[in-house]
Amino acid sequence: MTVFHDSAVDRPALRAYRLERVREQLRQRDYAGILLYDPLNIRYATDTSNMQVWTMHNKVRYAFIPTEGPVVLFDFHNCEHLSADIEVIDEIRPATAYFYFEAGQRSEELAGRWADEIAELLRLHGGGNRRLAVDKVDPHGNRALAERQIEILDGEEVMELARVIKAEVEVQAMMEAIEACEEGMRRMQAALRPGITENALWSILHQCNIELGGEWIETRLLTSGPRTFPWFQECSNRVIEAGDMVSFDTDLVGPNGYCADISRSWLCGDGPPSPEQRELYAIGHAQLHYNLGLIKPGLAFREFAEIAYQLPPECIGHRYSCLAHGIGLCDEYPAIPYLEDFDRIGYDGTIREGMTLCVESLVGRDGGRESVKLEQQILVTADGHRPLSSYPFETVLLP
C-alpha cells in the first residue's frame, strides 16, 4: 500500500538503503533504537503507509526500530495486511492508542500499557542500553517512559540527518513524483484563462496528482493578482482576471511519497505584462539562477547566505523564509536563511553531495500589488548540481 502507480523503482533497494541510514545514525549516538510516530519518518524507515494525513494528528500508528534487532510496526485496528509483504518489517502488532479521542479518561492507564510494551522491546533488543530516540512524544508518553527508566532522546535529529543524503534509487523515486507534478502544472497552465477561480485552477493539480499515483498536497499556495502580495495567502474563490500574475508553490507529495516542491509565476491572458510585472519576474529569475550557480559540496550554510544574490532594498522586507531547504518526503533539513535572519535562526552546516535541495525566490516590493514566486528542485553533485525540476520559465515575463 505504498505504490499507487506503475513504478520502476527497486523497492527492496530503496528500503534497505533508508533503514540502514537510520541505523547508522543510531549507532553514531549509541542509542538502543528509535520510536517513530511521524508518518513520514515511518514511511522513510519502513516504506509503509496508512492514512498518512489522518495519522499525523491521531497517534494510532508507530514503529520501533532497534539499532540491532527486529523492526516492529504497530498499526491501526485490523490493518496488519497493509504491510504484510514489506521485507524490512519483522513483526506487526496492534497499536495502543492513548490520546484523548481514543482513550478518554483512561489516557494515563493506556499510556502505561503502551510504555510497558516499548520497555519490553528495549529489554529484549537493547543489550542493556536504555537510550531511546523518539520523534514525537506527548506528556503522557514522556512520563510513562521516564517512569520505566528509559532515557528519551531527540529522534527528529536522527531522522532529519538520516534522510539528508539521497541514494540514486531515492532520486529515481523522487523523479516519478516530479514528473507527476509537472504534468499537473502543464494541465493547470493550459486551463489558466480569465474567469477561472483560484480554487478551480488549484484543483487541477490535486486531480492530476491522484490520477498519477500521488498522495496529497501540503498547502494551498496559489494566488492571483493582488492576493499574491503579501505572500502566504492560500487559494480562494477569487476569479482570476486578464493581466493577473498567478503565483504558486506546489508542495506536492506525489508518487512514492516524495515531495515535488516547485514554484512558478504565470501571466493570465494574452496581453503583455506590465513593466512592474517584468521587473519583479526579472529580479526573481536572476536571484534564483544566481543562487543556483553557487551550490556545490562543501559550501557552508552561512557562506551561502553571505554570498547569495542581494535583493533590492524595497524587496528585502518581503523576502522568503529561506534561501534554500532540503527536500525528500517533505521539506527537510537543512533550512538556510537569508543573511539578515542568520544570527536569529541560522545554524552551522555544509552543503553535501547527495543532498536534494529546493532553491527559493520570492519577490515583492514595498507598497506593491503582486509577488513573483520561483523555486527549483535540484540534486547536489560532486561538481555542483543537477536540476530535477525542468518546468520552463516564462519568457514573456522576462525583459
Residue 220 has pLDDT above 70, yes or no: yes
Question: Is 3 among the domain residues?
Answer: no
- Which domain range does residue 17 map to? 11-163
Cα-based angle 313, 318, 321 (whole degrees, multiple of 5): 120
Domain end among 163, 186, 213: 163
Residues 215 and 322 in one domain: yes
pLDDT, residue 73, reads: 98
Contacts of 213 (CB under 8 A, 6+ apart): 3, 4, 5, 6, 7, 180, 254, 255
Q: Residue 1's pLDDT band (boundaries 50, 70, 90)?
A: low
Structural contact between residues 333 and 314, judged by C-beta atoms closer than 8 angstroms:
no
Domain end among 163, 191, 208: 163
Q: Residue 223: enclosing H or E segment and its boundaries? A: strand 222-224
Q: Residue 132: enclosing H or E segment and its boundaries? A: strand 131-134
Contacts of 332 (CB under 8 A, 6+ apart): 160, 163, 164, 325, 326
Question: Is 1 among the domain residues?
Answer: no
Structural contact between residues 125 and 70, judged by C-beta atoms closer than 8 angstroms:
yes
CA distance 56 to 37: 8
Q: Within 13 Å of residue 357, how many CA atoms lie on the same side as its CB? A: 28
Residues 135 and 252 in one domain: no
Question: Is 236 among the domain residues?
Answer: yes
Residues 258 and 341 in one domain: yes
Question: Is 107 among the domain residues?
Answer: yes
- Per residue in 268-325, pLDDT (tens digit) is 999 999 999 999 999 999 999 999 999 999 999 999 999 999 999 999 999 999 999 9
Question: Is 284 among the domain residues?
Answer: yes
Question: Is 6 among the domain residues?
Answer: no
Residues 21 and 39 in one domain: yes
pLDDT, residue 6, reads: 86
Longest dimension (CA), the chain: 71
Residues 121 and 187 in one domain: no
Burial of 122 (0-12, 13-18, 19+ CB in 10 A): buried
CA 31, 136, 124, 45 dihedral sign is negative
Concatenated DSSP letters of 250-261: --EE-GGG-EE-
CA torsion 350-352-358-359 (nearest 10°) is: 50
| Amino acid occupying residue 381 | T
Indicate the pairing of strand 245-249 with strand 252-253. unpaired
Q: Residue 5's pLDDT band (boundaries 50, 70, 90)?
A: confident
CATH number at residue 294: 3.90.230.10
Residues 192 and 302 in one domain: yes
Residues 156 and 178 in one domain: no
Question: Is 2 among the domain residues?
Answer: no
CA distance 372 to 281: 6
Within 10 Å of residue 242's Cβ, how many Cβ atoms?
12
Tell me how many domains the chain contains: 2
Question: Is 329 among the domain residues?
Answer: yes
Residue 269 cell numbers, joined: 491572458
Residues 144 and 189 in one domain: no
- Per residue in 37-87, pLDDT (tens digit) is 999 999 999 999 999 999 999 999 999 999 999 999 999 999 999 999 999
Residues 261 and 304 in one domain: yes
CA 11, 175, 186, 40 dihedral sign is positive
CATH number at residue 88: 3.40.350.10
* C-alpha dist (Å) from residue 340 to 25, 174, 322, 357: 32, 32, 10, 21
- Per residue in 145-199, pLDDT (tens digit) is 999 999 999 999 999 999 999 999 999 999 999 999 999 999 999 999 999 999 9
Give the three-state DSSP class for 324.
strand
CA distance 280 to 394: 12
- Per residue in 17-35, pLDDT (tens digit) is 999 999 999 999 999 999 9
Residue 343 cell numbers, joined: 544570527
Residues 177 and 153 in one domain: no
Residue 285 cell numbers, joined: 529569475
Q: Which long-range contacts (CB under 8 A, 24 or more apart) does 268-271 make?
A: 268/192, 268/193, 268/194, 268/224, 268/240, 268/241, 268/242, 268/243, 268/244, 269/193, 269/194, 269/241, 269/242, 269/243, 269/244, 270/242, 271/242, 271/243
Structural contact between residues 35 and 62, judged by C-beta atoms closer than 8 angstroms:
yes
Residues 218 and 297 in one domain: yes
Domain end among 133, 163, 193: 163
Residues 209 and 238 in one domain: yes
Average pLDDT along the chain: 96
